Amino acid sequence: MTTTATPGQQPRTEPESLHEKPPFELFDKNTQAFVYNNQVNATQRMLDFDYVSGRATPSVAAIIHPTGSDGLSKFFFGRREILIPMYKRLERAAAEHPDVDVMINFASFRSAAASTDEALDVPQLKTIAIIAEGVPERDTKRLTIKAKRLGKVLIGPATVGGIKAGCFKIGNTGGTIENIVESKLHRPGSVGFVSKSGGLSNEEYYTIAMNTDGLYEGIAIGGDMFPGSTLLDHLLRYEQIPEVKMLVCLGELGGSGEYDIVEALEQKRITKPLVMWVTGTCSKAFKTEVQFGHAGAKVGSEAETADAKNAALRRAGAIVPDSYDDYGEKIKETYLELVEAGVITPQPEPEVPVIPMDYAKAVKEGIIRKPASFISTISDDRGEELMYGNVSISEVFERDLGLGGVLSLLWFKRLLPAYATKFIEMAIMITADHGPAVSGAHNTIVATRAGKDLVSSVVSGMLTIGPRFGGAVDGAAQMFSEAFDRGLSPQAFVDEMKRKGVNIQGIGHRVKSIHNPDMRVSIIKDYVFKHFGSSELLGYAVEVEKITTTKRNNLILNVDGAIGIAFADMLRSEMTREEADMYIQLGALNGLFVLGRSIGLMGHHLDQKRLKQGLYRHPWDDIAYMLD
C-alpha cells in the first residue's frame, strides 16, 4: 500500500489493486452484500439498480434466511433470471462467499442487535446497515463501540441505507428503478451527500440531480439519537475521495452532531464546499416542546434548535440557505462555481439500459394483455366470497341447494329444478357401492392390503371404471337415445343389435332377474315416472326390457342403464337436445358413477385399515363379506 496527500486534505491510501478499496470507500462496482432476512422486493430493487448501472455481477451474493432453510431463490437480473443462494446461518454464507464485505440487516428491532453483533464478529464484513427502527439505544451504543474498535462501519439503525451512484445501493434506497434513473443515480456524479432522514435523502438525490451533475455517494445515517455512524463520519470520508468535489448535508434539530461539523470546518478538516441546512426551524412556532418524526429530533436546549445550528454552520464557513426553499438554489450556485473554476467537468449522459416491466405490474396497470393458458367458467374465488357459477357459497347454504344443486351449478352451469337435483343425489347414493367383489372395490382392497395410502388405493379402484364397471351409464344413455331419435321401435332396436353382435348396454345382470328385481332400478323408475315432466327414453327402455327378458329372464334393465337413460331424460327436459347430447358425449353421466363409487371405495379402504388394526367392534361383525 502507498499513501499520497492532496493539498488541504488528509493523506489518502491508494489500493494496490483494482479489487481493493481504500478505507474511505465503503462500496465499489465489485461490492457484494448479504441481505439478512428474505426481503424479496428490496433484493430485486438492488438487482435492477445493478443492471442499469452496468454492473457485471449482481450486488446480492446471498440471502440469510434464519427462519428458513438453505436453498435457492429466483430473481431477475435485467432480462434474464438468476438464482441467488439462501442460507439459514450467516456463518455458512460467509464461508461460501469470502469476498462479501457488506451486510444489509432487515432483522426486526427485536433481533437486529443480536444479528448485527454476530455480523461484526465475521472478519470479512466491513459495513453493516441496520434498517430496523426501535433498536434499544443501549444496544446501539454497544454495537457502535464494537464496530469502531474493529474498524468497521455501521449505518443506522432506523435507516433506509445509502447508495454509491452507479456502483451499489442498500435495499430500498432511492426508491423504484424509475426514480433511480430520474435522479441519475445509475451513474456517478460529483456530490457527496449525508443526512439523518431516509425519506428526505431520496428527495435530495433528485434535488442534487436537477442542480448538479449528480450524486457520487449518499448516506442516510438514521434518525435515532445515537446512530452507528455520524454525519461528520461520512463528510470526512467524502473529504478524502478525489471524485467528490462538493458536499451536501441535511441535519435536523435535536442533538449536537451538527456542532461536530462546525468544529471540523473551523479546524479545516473539511475543505470542500459544504452546502448544509438543518431542518426544524418551524419548532419555534410551538409554545411547548415538540418531538418530530425521529427519536433524535427533539430539542433539549437552545443550542439544539435548528436556527442555532444553522447560524453556527454559517459562521464556520458552510453555505447555508436562508430557508429550505433556497436549498436547491445554493446547491446549484455552488456547483456552477466549481464548473466555472474547472474543478468539475460535466460528462455526457450514458445510455440507460431498459429494465423490462414485471409482468404482474404490467397486468395491474392494464398496459398489456395475455391470453389465459387455462380457462375455467364454473367457479371464481377472486371476489369477496366463493362463487359457484353465479351463486355465492353463502347463498348455496341459505337456499339449502344440497349436493345436487352444487353439482348442477358446477357441471351444467345452471341451477336445475328441485326434482332434478334430488335425482342427482339419488344417483350418487345408489351408485355409492356394489359390494367388494366388483373390480373397483377389489383393486382398492388389494392396494390397501399392500400398504398404500387412501388416495393411491382409491385411484387403483377408480382406474377400472369402464364398459364393464360403470361405463354402461354413458353407454346406455348414448345407445338408447340414438335408437329413439332414429325412430327405431323397441323390437327393431333389439333386432339391429343382434345382427351387429353388440350387447345392449344397460341391459343384463348376473344375479338379478325379472323374478328377482333390483330394488335400485325400481326406486329410480318410480321416481322418474312420478316426478319427471318427460320420461320418454326411460319408457322406451322399459319396452326394450320386455323384449329382452323374453329371451332370458336376467336381461333386465340394470342400475347403470336406468340411471344413464333417466339422466338423459332429465337433461333433455332442462336444456336443448343438442346441449343434452353434448353432455352425454362428454361423459358427464359416467361422472355420476365416478363420484358415487368413490364414496364406496374410500369405505373399502377404511374397512381394510380397521380390519388390519383389529378395530372391528360393532354389530356388523357377523355380516362380514368373505372373499375367497
pLDDT digits (tens, 9 = 90+) for 434-463: 888 888 898 999 999 999 999 999 999 999
Do residues 14 and 1 make contact, with C-beta atoms less than 8 angstroms apart? yes
On whether both 528 and 473 belong to a single domain, the answer is yes
On whether both 416 and 488 belong to a single domain, the answer is no
Q: Minimal CA–CA distance to 466: which of 593, 563, 558? A: 593
pLDDT over threshold 90, residue 355: no
Of 324, 347, 370, the last residue of a domain is 347
Q: What is the pLDDT of residue 253?
A: 85
pLDDT over threshold 80, residue 101: yes
| Number of domains making up the chain | 4
On whether both 443 and 554 belong to a single domain, the answer is yes
pLDDT over threshold 90, residue 395: yes
Q: What is the pLDDT of residue 286?
A: 54
| 474 belongs to a structural domain | yes
Q: Minimal CA–CA distance to 507: which of 547, 455, 448? A: 547
On whether both 19 and 145 belong to a single domain, the answer is yes
pLDDT over threshold 50, residue 16: no
Q: Where is average pLDDT lowest: 27-41, 358-372, 585-599?
A: 358-372
Question: Environment class of residue 2 by beta-carbon count within 10 Å: exposed (0-12), middle (13-18) or buried (19+)?
Answer: exposed
Do residues 172 and 161 make contact, with C-beta atoms less than 8 angstroms apart? yes
| 355 belongs to a structural domain | no
pLDDT digits (tens, 9 = 90+) for 267-278: 999 999 999 999
Q: What is the pLDDT of residue 3?
A: 38
| 622 belongs to a structural domain | no
Model confidence band, residue 15 (pLDDT cutoffs 50, 70, 90): very low
Q: What is the pLDDT of residue 8?
A: 36
Q: What is the CATH number of the domain that holds 77?
A: 3.40.50.720
Do residues 33 and 103 make contact, with C-beta atoms less than 8 angstroms apart? yes
Q: What is the CATH number of the domain that holds 568?
A: 1.10.230.10
Q: What is the pLDDT of residue 455?
A: 95
pLDDT digits (tens, 9 = 90+) for 30-48: 999 999 999 999 999 999 9
pLDDT digits (tens, 9 = 90+) for 165-182: 999 999 999 999 999 999
| Residue 61 DSSP SS3 | strand
| 544 belongs to a structural domain | yes
| 181 belongs to a structural domain | no
Can you list the pairs that 260-263 forms with residues at least 24 positions away whose Cβ atoms lie under 8 Å?
A: 260/230, 260/231, 260/232, 261/231, 261/232, 261/235, 261/313, 261/316, 261/318, 262/312, 262/313, 262/315, 262/316, 262/318, 263/316
What whole-number distance in Å separates Cα of residue 502 and Cα of residue 573? 29
Q: Would you tell me the crossing angle of helices 327-340 and 198-211 to the nearest 10 degrees?
A: 40
What whole-number distance in Å separates Cα of residue 175 and Cα of residue 507? 74
Give the angle 193-278-42 at the CA atoms, nearest 5°.
45
Of 147, 174, 201, the last residue of a domain is 174
On whether both 53 and 100 belong to a single domain, the answer is yes
Q: What is the pLDDT of residue 369?
A: 80
Q: What is the pLDDT of residue 469?
A: 72
Percent of the chain at pLDDT > 70 equals 91
- Is the backbone peptide bond immediately before 157 cis, with ω within 30 degrees of 0? yes
Q: Where is average pLDDT lowest: 18-22, 91-95, 473-477, 617-621?
A: 617-621
Residue range 374-381: mean pLDDT, rounded:
89
What's the chain's length in residues? 628
On whether both 444 and 426 belong to a single domain, the answer is no
Number of helices (H) and strands (E) in the chain: give both, helices first: 23, 18
Q: What is the pLDDT of residue 470?
A: 63
On whether both 504 and 467 belong to a single domain, the answer is yes
Q: 74: which strand partners? A: 83
On whether both 27 and 156 belong to a single domain, the answer is yes
Most confident of 220-234, 330-344, 469-483: 330-344
On whether both 473 and 574 belong to a single domain, the answer is yes
- List residues with catalytic annotation: 294
Q: Would you tell me the crossing angle of helices 472-485 and 577-586 to the nearest 10 degrees?
A: 150
> pTM, whole model, 2 decimals?
0.65
Q: What is the number of alpha carbons within 13 Å of residue 158 lying toward its C-beta?
A: 20
Mean pLDDT of the chain: 90
Model confidence band, residue 358 (pLDDT cutoffs 50, 70, 90): confident
| 387 belongs to a structural domain | yes
On whether both 591 and 443 belong to a single domain, the answer is yes
What whole-number distance in Å separates Cα of residue 7 and Cα of residue 423? 98
The range of the structural domain enclosing residue 78 comes to 1-174
Note the helical H segments in 552-619: 559-574, 577-586, 588-613
Q: What is the pLDDT of residue 367?
A: 87
On whether both 422 and 443 belong to a single domain, the answer is no
* Residue where the block lists cell 371464481: 380
DSSP conformation class of 215: E
| 368 belongs to a structural domain | no
**Helix/strand/coil (H/E/C) assignment for every residue in 94-157:** HHHCCCCCEEEECCCCCCHHHHHHHHHCCCCCCEEEECCCCCCHHHHHHHHHHHHHHCCEEECC
On whether both 246 and 149 belong to a single domain, the answer is no
| 179 belongs to a structural domain | no
